[in-house]
Structure 1
Amino acid sequence: MSSLGRWWWLIGLVALGWLLHQLLPILPPFLIAALLAYMGGPLVSRLEHVGLPRTLGVLLVFSVFFLSCLLILLVLVPLLGKQLMGLYQLTPKVIDWLQTVALPWLQSEFGLEEGFWRLDQLRDTLMSHLGSTTDTLRTLLSRLTASGLAILIWFGNALLVPVVGFYLMRDWDSMLLKLQALLPRRREAYITDLVRECHEVLGAFLRGQLLVMLALAIIYAIGLNLVGLNLGLLIGILSGLASIVPYMGFVVGIAAALLAALFQFGLDLYPLLGVVAVFAVGQALEGVLLTPWLVGDRIGLHPVAVIFAILAGGQLFGFTGVLLALPVAAVIMVLLRHIHEFYKLSHLYADPSDQSGH
C-alpha cells in the first residue's frame, strides 16, 4: 500500500470515529438490537435447518424472548422492589453495627482518632429519609410525567429495539455475505480469519458466560430462599450478574449473604452454614457442569480484560460504551495476538546470532 493510500485509510478511520462519537445518543437501541440478533441468530439458524422458514423462526425466538421478559417484569420486579425496600430499611442497622462494634474494634487495633468515621450523620440522614420514600417516588413520578418529550423518546427507543432486532436477525446471514463480498480479494481470507477469531472469542463469552450467569443467579436465588434469607432473591441475582467476572459473583454473593444472615438470624449457626452450602454447591456446579457445558474450551476474555473494558467503556462513552466494551475488547485481543505473532517473526525479535553475516 502506498503512503498516500495509508493516509486515506487513516483519514477514513478518524472520520468514522468522529461520526460514531456524534451518533452516540442514538446508538444504544441499535446496539441492543444487534446484541439480540447476535445472540439469537444461531438459534434461528437451527430452526431454519430443521425446515422452519427463517422469518417464522425469528418470530418464534422473539416471542419466547419477550414473553420471558414479560414474565420477569410481572413476577420478579415486585419481589425485587420489596427486597430493595427491606435492604433500605436494614441499612441503618448495618451502620449502627459498624459504628458500635466493628469500627471501635478497628479504632482500638489501629489507633485511629475518635469520631474518625462519622457514620452517625449518615445513619441520621437515612432514617430521616425512610419516612419520605413515598413522597420521593411521587415527586420523581411527577417530574417524569412533566417531561413528556423524554418519555416519548424513551418509549420510541424501546419500540425501536424489537423492530431493528427483527430485521437484523432475519437478514443476518445475507448481510454477512454482502459484507464479505466487499472485502479486497487479496485480503479476503485473512480478514475472514480475523473476524472468525473475534466471533469465537465474543461468542464464547456472550453466549457461554451469560448463560452461566443466568444459571448461577437461579441457583443462588433458590438456594438462599430455601435457607430463609429475606434478601435471598436480590443477593442471588446480584451474585449471578457479578459472575460476569469469574469468582467475583461467589466472593460478592457469599459476603453479602453472610452479612444479611447475621443481621436476620444473629449467630445461629445453621443459617450461616446453609448460606455457605448454597455458594459451595453453586461453585461446584459451575466448575463441573455449567462452564464445561456452556462455555467449553472456547477462548474467552481474561477477567482483568473484562473489568477494564467495561469500566473504560462506561467512562469514555457512557451506556453506549458499556454496550461496545466487550465486542471492542474481543477485537483488540485478537489483533494483539496477531501483532504478537508478527513481532516474533520480525527482525526486532530475532536472535542476532541467527542472522546471516553475524
Structure 2
Amino acid sequence: MAAELRVGFWLLLLGGLLWLLAPVLTPFLFSAILAYLGDPLADRLEAWGLSRTAAVVSVFVTLIGSLLLLLLVIVPSLERQLVNLVQQGPAVLDWLKHSGLPWLRDHLPIDTALVDIDALKGELTQALGKAGGIVQTLLATAARSSSVVIGFLVNLFLVPVLTFYLLRDWDVLVARIRALLPRRIEPPVSALAAETNEVLGAFLRGQFAVMLALGAIYAVGLTLLGLHYGLLIGLLAGLVSFVPYMGFIVGIGVAGVAALVQYQDLLHVTLVAGVFAIGQALEGTVLTPRLVGERIGLHPVAVIFAVLAGGHLFGFFGVLLALPVASIVMVLLRHTHDRYLASDLYEG
C-alpha cells in the first residue's frame, strides 16, 4: 500500500507541474511530436548511408520545401476564396431572406419571424466596413503588448531549433532513458514502450496521411462540381477529420449550404453529399485500414474524449498531450485486461 501511495503522490506532483508549466512546455512538446514523426524517415535515410545530421537536414529541407510549395500554390487560392466568401455575405443573407426562410416556413414548423435578416445584414455590412480598422487595431494592440510579440517570436524560433536537436539525438535520448531504468523492470517497461510506440506512431502518421487524402478528395470533388469555395471547404473538412466523423459532418453541412446558395436546387446538394459519401467510403474501406490499421488504431470515442479532456485540463498543451497519453493508457488497459483474465480472481 505504501508503494502505491508513493506512486500516486509522484503522479499528482507530475500532473501539477505539467499544469503550471504548460505555457512553457508547449513549444517543447510540439517539437517533440514533430521529432517523433520525423524520426522514422531520418532512420531510413541513415540506413541508406547518410550520417544522422545529414539525414536530419534532409528531412528539414523536405519539410521546408513542402511548406513553401503549400504557400505558393494553395494559400493564394484559399485567400481569394476567403475574400470572396466574406464579400458574398450580404448576398447570402438576401437569398436566405427571399428563398431560404420562405422554404423553411412552408415545409417545416419553424417561426421564421424570429430571424431578423435585415438586422444581420446591417451588422455584417458594418463589420465589413470596419474590417480594416479592426486589423489595424489588432496590430496596434499586438505592437503595444510586447510580451505577446516576444513570446510568439521566441516560439517561432524555438520550435525548429528544438525539433532539429531532438530529431538528431532522438535515438540517443531513448537509449539513455532505457539505461536509467532499474534492471528489474526494464524488460516489461521496454515492451510496453515498444507497443505504445507502435500504437501511437501508426495512429499519428496514418491519421495525418488520412487527413491529407480526405482533404484532397473533398477539395477535388467539390471543385469539379463547380462549387465556388470547394478548395476551402474540402481542406477544412480534411483538417478537422482528425476527430472521427467531424470532417464529414462539418464538410457536408458547410458544402451543402454553399451549394444550395449557389445553385438553389437539390441536385447539386445531392452531388455534394455524394462527394462526401465517396470520401467516407474510401476512408472506411481503404484509407484507414491501410494507413492506420484496425488493430492498432485508437477507438474514435477514446480519441474524442482524450482531445476534449486534454484541452479542458491543459489548453492547447493538453491537446498536444492527449493522444500520447491515450495511447499509453490504452496499452496499459490492454495488459491489465490480459493479466486479469489470467489471474486467480477471474478463474476462481
TM-score (norm 1): 0.87
Q: Residues of 2 paired with 1:261 and 1:273: CA distance?
A: 9
Which runs of 5 or more structure 1 residues have no equivalent in the other structure? Answer: none
Q: Residues of 2 paired with 1:348 and 1:138: CA distance?
A: 68
Does 1:50 pair with 2:17?
A: no
**Greater Cα shift, 129-138 or 276-285:** 276-285
Q: Secondary structure at the match of 1:326?
A: helix
Structure 1 position 347, deviation (Å):
5.5
Structure 1 position 93, deviation (Å):
4.4
Deviations 1:147-204 (A, max 9, x none): 2332122111111111111111111111111111122222222112221222122112
Which runs of 5 or more structure 2 residues have no equivalent in the other structure? Answer: none
Structure 1 position 61, deviation (Å):
0.2
Instruction: Provide the residue aligned with 2:5 in structure 1.
Output: 7
Q: Which of 309, 313, 318 pairs up with 1:312?
A: 309
Flag the 1:256–1:162 CA change in 2: closer, same or farther, 3 A: same
Q: Residues of 2 paired with 1:8 and 1:249: CA distance?
A: 43
Flag the 1:182–1:227 CA change in 2: closer, same or farther, 3 A: same
Q: Secondary structure at the match of 1:128?
A: helix
Q: Residues of 1 paired with 2:307 and 2:40: CA distance?
A: 25
Q: Which of 148, 155, 158 pairs up with 2:156?
A: 158
Instruction: Provide the residue aligned with 2:279 in structure 1.
Output: 282
- Letter of the aligned partner of 2:78 in structure 1? L
Q: Residues of 2 paired with 1:31 and 1:285: CA distance?
A: 32
Q: Residues of 2 paired with 1:146 and 1:65: CA distance?
A: 33
Q: Residue 307 of structure 2 contacts residue 323 of structure 2 at CA under 8 Å; is this kept in 1?
A: yes
Q: Which of 301, 326, 347 pairs up with 2:323?
A: 326
Q: Residues of 2 paired with 1:179 and 1:336: CA distance?
A: 23
Instruction: Provide the residue aligned with 1:228 in structure 2.
Output: 226
Instruction: Provide the residue aligned with 2:138 in structure 1.
Output: 140
Instruction: Provide the residue aligned with 1:23 in structure 2.
Output: 21
Q: How does 1:1-358 map to 2 (within 5 A)?
A: 3-98=1-96, 102=100, 115-118=113-116, 120-267=118-265, 269=267, 271-272=268-269, 274-346=271-343, 349-350=346-347, 355=348
Structure 1 position 304, deviation (Å):
1.6
Flag the 1:69–1:330 CA change in 2: closer, same or farther, 3 A: same
- Letter of the aligned partner of 1:149 in structure 2? S
- Quote the sequence identity (%): 53
Q: Secondary structure at the match of 1:186?
A: coil
Structure 1 position 301, deviation (Å):
1.1
Q: Residue 198 of structure 1 contacts residue 331 of structure 1 at CA under 8 Å; is this kept in 2?
A: yes
Structure 1 position 106, deviation (Å):
5.5
Q: Residue 38 of structure 2 contacts residue 167 of structure 2 at CA under 8 Å; is this kept in 1?
A: yes
TM-score (norm 2): 0.89
- Letter of the aligned partner of 1:263 in structure 2? V
Q: Residues of 2 paired with 1:298 and 1:40: CA distance?
A: 23
Q: Residues of 1 paired with 2:212 and 2:275: CA distance?
A: 16
**Greater Cα shift, 62-71 or 33-42:** 62-71
- Paired residues, what number? 348
Structure 1 position 344, deviation (Å):
3.6
Q: Residues of 2 paired with 1:303 and 1:228: CA distance?
A: 33
Q: Residue 244 of structure 2 contacts residue 304 of structure 2 at CA under 8 Å; is this kept in 1?
A: no
**Greater Cα shift, 19-28 or 277-286:** 277-286
Deviations 1:214-240 (A, max 9, x none): 111122222322322211111011111
- Letter of the aligned partner of 2:205 in structure 1? R
